[in-house]
Amino acid sequence: MIYIDFDPNQYAGNEKDAWERLTQAAINQRAEVVQEYQKRRASAPVKKPSMSSAVKSEGYKELKEWFYERVFNRKCGYCEARVKRKDLVTDHYRPKGEVSIKSLKDPSRDEHEHNVTYTTVKSMYEDGVKRTHPGYFWVAYDWRNLIPACNTCNDKPAKYTSFPVKNTHALFSDEESKNGDYKGVALETDPKHFMLSPDELDALEQPLILHPLRDSDLADHLSFDNKGIALGVTERGKATILNLYLNREELVTEERPKALRDLKNDYHLKCLALKNMDTYDTDRKNIITDILNNMHTKEYSAALSAFFKAITGI
């Protein structure tokens, strides 16, 4: 995973209009899904409303495509594998319909796939009763909650519905939202409770899984060794590796080592082609700069960057 410095305010002209249309559509759909939540709560007040079925994938399809093409270089936002369009899925950073915490059944065992368990999260509802968390359906269409992903990162035995946090999982707040397009967005049937924006949720919950568009210090948490194995530097880094299963076998034994070999060969061939010994040092530096400038477009670029620094001594 790499941090991507994405700011929608950069858009102008037709792109700005298209982006605004998509984000406005998301706000309208948020209103619809929240109404549906209130309807389900009113018809069965003691049961947890299952919100997964109320969120329509058509509603975030265009934003997923937008991110895939224009922001993520057609890569999975988590593992950085190149994803074919037909295999592309949307990961809801905060799960849309059910929330759990993933853990290893037996942490002493290396084997991962049959050694994971997902524990359902409970949360305080508006009526003060703790029930199974219905999912963060009100941010299900919000671009800040959508990550284009490969199916492996998105599903079991990787992230699935897991969303560990440092504090507690939030539902609705009894304090009015102060934040941007969420300012003062209350539940119609319960005006004393307000929806929280992704920024407010982050501040309140302190999520452990790193977010490629929101965590600018991502590289301080997650690193890679010279063989392409992900290393958790902090609690957040460790949680990200566990939840996204970033050290799964195909990545560690095949995909990342191949990418590292290809990069090393490319760099050495370019250096070997340098003939003028008077300008060798400058030319070599230019090769390094050129490779670094294009690194973010490559598969597994976080692992490649760490490896490249080691082989070039930069």
Residues forming the site for Zn ion (CB under 5 A): 76, 78-79, 150, 153
**Burial environment of residue 197 by CB neighbours within 10 A (0 to 12, 13 to 18, 19 or more):** buried
* 142 vs 299 by CB, closer to Zn ion: 299
CA atoms of 83 and 71, how far apart (whole Å): 14
52 with 98: CB under 8 angstroms? yes
**Please, what is the minimum distance in Å from the beta carbon of residue 75 to Zn ion?**
8
In the chain, the amino acid numbered 100 is: S
**Please, what is the minimum distance in Å from the beta carbon of residue 16 to Zn ion?**
30
* 134 vs 148 by CB, closer to Zn ion: 148
**Please, what is the minimum distance in Å from the beta carbon of residue 88 to Zn ion?**
10
**Please, what is the minimum distance in Å from the beta carbon of residue 198 to Zn ion?**
21
By three-state DSSP, how is residue 311 classified?
A: helix
* 249 vs 290 by CB, closer to Zn ion: 249
**Please, what is the minimum distance in Å from the beta carbon of residue 215 to Zn ion?**
17
* 78 vs 138 by CB, closer to Zn ion: 78
Instruction: Write the DSSP string, 156-167.
Output: TTSSTTB--BSS
**Triad 260, 158, 132: Cα angle to 5°:** 155
* 78 vs 307 by CB, closer to Zn ion: 78
CA atoms of 82 and 158, how far apart (whole Å): 17
